[in-house]
Structure 1
Amino acid sequence: MGTIVVVYEIDKPVGPRTRPGGAPGEARTVRRVHAAPTAPGTPTATGPRTLCGKDTFAMETDCQKPSEHPEALWYPAQYASAVCRDCDAVMTT
């Protein structure tokens, strides 16, 4: 498997900031955590689809790259309840 990055499906603003790296005053909630390959030939850009097939266009990329730390969880532990089951199934095989 190539380089994989964590991407977040984000809800619209509703309250206090609840995701890492957000701007002060920004109110977004992580709805689902996905894994996505990087774009071919561009390791700093997310590919067009997650491992479960969702479009990454409106998703936010985390700085975490699971492929760099194969012994650790591929997603941030605080979002364990929001992990996409399909992406997790691909990542754990």
Structure 2
Amino acid sequence: MSGIIVVRELDTPAGEGAVRRVHAAPAAPGTSTEPGPRTLCGRDTFAMRAAGRSPSGEPGSPWYPPQEAGLVCPSCDAAMDDG
């Protein structure tokens, strides 16, 4: 699953506060560590923070941090399942 960056949508636009939602975003062109401008569900990644985790691609392993399973964006999750 190379080319996917896990990003966190936070409660405040300043990049602080609790995690509201966890999204998946394609990597920006020319990098494997920075998210592109939009998540797989179409949200702007500008105010989001990279989770420091990339999907492993291992069968059965989640693309998101397991401790944040309850915060996963359903649309991004569906897009990852289709991928």
Name the TM-score, length of structure 2 as normaliser: 0.84
Gaps of 5+ in 1: 13-26
How far apart, in 1, do the equivalents of 2:65 and 2:32 lie?
20
Q: Counting strand residues as a fraction of each chain, which structure ranks higher?
A: 1
Residue identity (%): 55
Count of aligned pairs = 78
User: Which of these two proteins has the greater Rg computed from alpha carbons?
Assistant: 1
Runs of at least 4 residues of structure 1 off by over 2 A?
Answer: 68-71
Q: What is residue 9 of structure 2 aligned with on the other side?
A: 9
Q: What is residue 73 of structure 2 aligned with on the other side?
A: 84
**Equivalent residues in 2 for 1:9-88, closer than 5 Å:** 9-12=9-12, 28-66=17-55, 68-71=56-59, 72-88=61-77
Gaps of 5+ in 2: none
Name the TM-score, length of structure 1 as normaliser: 0.76
- RMSD between aligned alpha carbons? 1.5
